[in-house]
């Protein structure tokens, strides 16, 4: 299944492994015509992505993925169609970056107590100029043969309850929505199937999200099952939210997630791209 629209992707500006240019080129090769770059808490990759996109005829939607906190639980939100340099968004991003840095130092200290030396420095080196994330710690742990795979690095060291986990309070959900909206963007609840949350609580989250100005929810993600698509389409309709689609592509090394490899967009759900001024059909035949 191929979608010509992919609204959730990462580059080396955060924890992706391709440069913005490489990402846009690969997206085009995979049949993606409308692409959003949504790096974690940064818009640094967008300028380069936009230049390449223009060269090769891809429509680039400027985006971001923000970590936010709601009722002591962390969620991810995608902002689509943002002005990447808007001052309100930019100052919000700076706060998140400071939080990321102090969290990363604490992750390093905790791993050090578990006889894993140099993790902060190692992760920071891997992140380079990009936003520092737990993925970089996971890559460091794999490089150091402390974990066999990225997934195991998270499971053994970085997930909640594990030695390197540092509880973090990100910007409140409402604040994240305000930053995105101020920058002219649409706030989208990212990969809803990933959260450990009861249906009752999810409905409270969606109510608060909508009230605060959130407009869309990802109904098709790179790893969505058919049931996930049905379930979140239902929620989109019930809460009057638009539907978005995004693979959450990070790296060609992950064989399970590919740019544009997405289930068909569900009938009946209003697509977010119409609101972005894009009148295109995301389902194109696989090739
Ligand atoms: P951070 O925002 O620094 O907490 O890092 C979160 C990122 O880590 C996510 O965007 C994913 O790319 C990655 N991640 C989180 N959990 C896992 C997991 N269990 N396995 C692999 N990657 C994960
Ligand atoms: Mn990530
Ligand atoms: Mn995410
Ligand atoms: Mn993501």
Would the pLDDT of 17 be above 60?
yes
Q: Bridge-partner residues for 217, per DSSP?
A: 189, 243
The predicted pLDDT at position 110 comes to 98
On whether both 207 and 259 belong to a single domain, the answer is yes
The mean pLDDT value of the chain amounts to 96
Question: How far apart are the CA of 195 and the centre of ligand 2, in A?
Answer: 14
Would the pLDDT of 47 be above 60?
yes
On whether both 258 and 149 belong to a single domain, the answer is no
* CB distance 250 to ligand 1 below 6 Å: yes
The predicted pLDDT at position 279 comes to 81
pLDDT tens-digit series, residues 113-162: 999 999 999 999 999 999 999 999 999 999 999 999 999 999 999 999 99
On whether both 124 and 263 belong to a single domain, the answer is no
On whether both 188 and 269 belong to a single domain, the answer is yes
Q: What percent of the chain has pLDDT over 90?
A: 96
The predicted pLDDT at position 157 comes to 98
On whether both 68 and 150 belong to a single domain, the answer is no
On whether both 10 and 76 belong to a single domain, the answer is yes
Last residue of a domain, one of 106, 136, 158: 158
pLDDT band at 231 (very low <50, low <70, confident <90, very high): very high
Question: How far apart are the CA of 84 and the centre of ligand 1, in A?
Answer: 23
* CB distance 26 to ligand 1 below 6 Å: no
Q: Evaluate whether residue 282 is within a structural domain.
A: no
pLDDT band at 285 (very low <50, low <70, confident <90, very high): very low
Q: Evaluate whether residue 269 is within a structural domain.
A: yes
Q: Evaluate whether residue 281 is within a structural domain.
A: no
On whether both 53 and 191 belong to a single domain, the answer is yes
For residue 20, give its domain range: 5-85+172-275
* CB distance 40 to ligand 1 below 6 Å: yes
Count how many domains the chain has: 2
Q: Kindly report the pTM of this predicted structure.
A: 0.97
Taking the CA of residue 151 as reference, the ligand 1 atom at the shortest distance is 20
On whether both 269 and 186 belong to a single domain, the answer is yes
Q: Evaluate whether residue 217 is within a structural domain.
A: yes
Q: Evaluate whether residue 284 is within a structural domain.
A: no
Q: Looking at the CA of 190, which ligand is closest?
A: 3
Taking the CA of residue 40 as reference, the ligand 1 atom at the shortest distance is 2
On whether both 39 and 125 belong to a single domain, the answer is no
On whether both 21 and 123 belong to a single domain, the answer is no
The predicted pLDDT at position 280 comes to 62
């Amino acid at each position: 299944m191929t979608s010509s629209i992919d609204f959730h992707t990462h580059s080396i500006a955060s924890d992706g492994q391709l440069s913005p240019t490489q990402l846009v080129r690969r997206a085009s090769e995979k049949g993606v015509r409308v692409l959003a770059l949504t790096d974690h808490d940064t818009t640094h990759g967008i300028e380069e992505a936009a230049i390449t996109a223009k060269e090769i005829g891809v429509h680039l939607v400027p985006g971001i993925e923000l970590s936010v906190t709601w009722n002591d639980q962390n969620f991810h939100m995608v902002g689509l169609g943002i002005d990447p340099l808007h001052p309100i968004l930019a100052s919000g991003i700076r706060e998140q970056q400071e939080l990321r840095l102090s969290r990363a130092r604490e992750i390093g200290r905790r791993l050090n107590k578990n006889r894993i030396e140099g993790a902060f420095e190692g992760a920071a080196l891997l992140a380079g100029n990009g936003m520092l994330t737990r993925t970089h710690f996971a890559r460091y742990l794999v490089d150091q043969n402390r974990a066999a795979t990225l997934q195991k690095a998270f499971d053994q060291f970085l997930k909640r309850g594990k030695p390197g986990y540092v509880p973090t309070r990100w910007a409140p959900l409402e604040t994240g929505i305000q930053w995105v909206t101020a920058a002219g963007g649409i706030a989208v609840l990212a990969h809803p199937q990933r959260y450990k949350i009861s249906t009752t609580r999810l409905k409270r989250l969606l109510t608060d999200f909508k009230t605060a100005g959130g407009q869309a929810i990802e109904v098709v993600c790179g790893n969505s099952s058919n049931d996930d698509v049905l379930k979140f389409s239902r929620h989109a309709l019930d809460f009057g939210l638009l539907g978005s689609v995004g693979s959450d592509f990070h790296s060609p090394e992950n064989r399970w997630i590919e740019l544009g490899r997405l289930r068909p967009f569900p009938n009946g759900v209003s697509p977010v791209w119409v609101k972005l001024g894009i009148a295109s059909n995301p389902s194109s035949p696989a090739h």
